[in-house]
């Protein structure tokens, strides 16, 4: 059986497949047109988030019977088209849980204490001790939008810093959240009460532009936002305006509406933005 890997995954993936009799081809950063040309030669496809498996791609995959998503989200795969074609879609929801949670916490700390900005300023020969003093986490309210595995891991870690945790997730019972010392609140109340907001939901039609001009208006002055989930959940143009106005004091982003991000994206020109 022939397996195509189109995104960067751990080298052990190809090794394990080869050892078990699969013929593996690795084509990282393959273009859409190239993928259309060769997908018909493969039975299995392994992707991360960069490869967009559209209905058009699936139509060209005449032998394709399985797509493996290395990660939790499957918004880059046309699930309806895959179902029509009889293609199984599998994901690995727990595979990067700890890594994603740790990265989120690191981004939150970096944004709160303005570590990247202070480092850059110091390396330029400045000694601005008060400019980058930042804010403490203890006693602050952290809103977690999406209380899945990663969201819960983030909550546990940030509670250790003395943060009060609130959340929005329509799929989680109040009783379960209470066991985690998390108060489940309506979405608008999360925006109103939070000092920090971290996003951990999938991207779909109900979450696209979930955070935009109208929701920024609900937030506290000086709110800090972290998004290590999916680009498109935050409207980037509205976010830039909220930063410039002072509504948002800092933002840490690991995902963007368009990836790779355009070097000319206005967000990258704002000092308050940390991006990875």
Residues 244-262: pLDDT tens digits?
999 999 999 999 999 989 9
Indicate whether 129 pLDDT > 90: no
Residue where one domain finishes, among candidates 64, 91, 118? 91
Share of residues in the chain with pLDDT > 90 (%): 95
Q: Do 158 and 225 lie in a common domain?
A: yes
How many distinct structural domains can be found in the chain?
Answer: 2
Helices of type H across 134-261? 149-159, 174-179, 187-193, 213-216, 236-245
Global pTM? Answer: 0.84
User: Are 49 and 73 a contacting pair, CB within 8 Å?
Assistant: yes
On whether both 123 and 256 belong to a single domain, the answer is yes
pLDDT tens digits, 13-38 = 999 999 999 999 999 999 999 999 99
Q: For residues 144-154, give the mean pLDDT.
A: 97
List Cβ neighbours of 138 (8 Å cut-off, separation of 6 or more): 161, 162, 163
- Kindly compute the dihedral angle of the four CA atoms of residues 59, 62, 67, 73, in this order, to the nearest 10 degrees: 0
Q: Estimate to the nearest angstrom the gap between the alpha carbon of 247 and the chain centroid.
A: 22
User: Does 72 score more than 90 pLDDT?
Assistant: no
Clarify whether residues 152 and 259 are in a common domain. yes
What is the rounded average pLDDT of the residues 163-192? 98
Whether 52 has a pLDDT exceeding 90, the answer reads yes
Q: Of 91, 116, 134, which one is at a domain's C-terminal end?
A: 91
Q: Is the pLDDT of residue 71 over 90?
A: no
Q: Stretch 72-99: mean pLDDT, rounded?
A: 93
Query: Residue 222: pLDDT above 90?
Result: yes
Q: In terms of Cα–Cα distance, which of 219, 231, 221, 230 is closest to 256?
A: 231
Clarify whether residues 109 and 168 are in a common domain: yes
Q: Among residues 58, 91, 124, which one ends one of the domains?
A: 91
């Amino acid at each position: 059986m022939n397996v195509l890997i189109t995104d960067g995954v751990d080298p052990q993936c190809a090794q394990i497949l080869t050892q078990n009799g699969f013929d593996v081809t690795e084509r990282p950063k393959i273009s859409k047109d190239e993928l259309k040309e060769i997908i018909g030669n493969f039975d299995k496809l392994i992707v991360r988030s960069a490869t967009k498996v559209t209905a058009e791609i699936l139509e060209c995959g005449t032998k394709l019977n399985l797509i493996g998503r290395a990660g939790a989200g499957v918004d880059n795969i046309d699930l309806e088209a895959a179902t029509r074609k009889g293609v199984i879609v599998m994901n690995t929801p727990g595979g990067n849980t700890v890594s994603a949670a740790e990265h989120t916490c690191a981004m939150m700390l970096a944004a709160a204490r303005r570590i990247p900005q202070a480092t850059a300023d110091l390396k330029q020969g400045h000694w601005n001790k008060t400019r980058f003093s930042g804010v403490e986490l203890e006693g602050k309210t952290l809103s977690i939008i999406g209380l899945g595995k990663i969201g819960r891991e983030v909550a546990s870690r940030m509670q250790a810093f003395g943060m009060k945790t609130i959340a929005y997730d329509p799929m989680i019972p109040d009783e379960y959240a209470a066991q985690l010392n998390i108060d489940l609140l309506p979405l608008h109340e999360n925006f109103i009460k939070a000092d920090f907001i971290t996003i951990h939901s999938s991207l779909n039609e109900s979450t696209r532009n979930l955070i935009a001009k109208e929701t920024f208006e609900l937030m506290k002055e000086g709110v800090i936002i972290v998004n290590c989930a999916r680009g498109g959940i935050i409207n980037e143009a509205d976010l830039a305006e909220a930063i410039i106005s002072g509504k948002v004091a800092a933002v840490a982003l690991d995902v963007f509406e368009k990836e790779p991000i355009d070097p000319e994206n206005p967000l990258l020109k704002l000092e308050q933005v940390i991006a990875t």
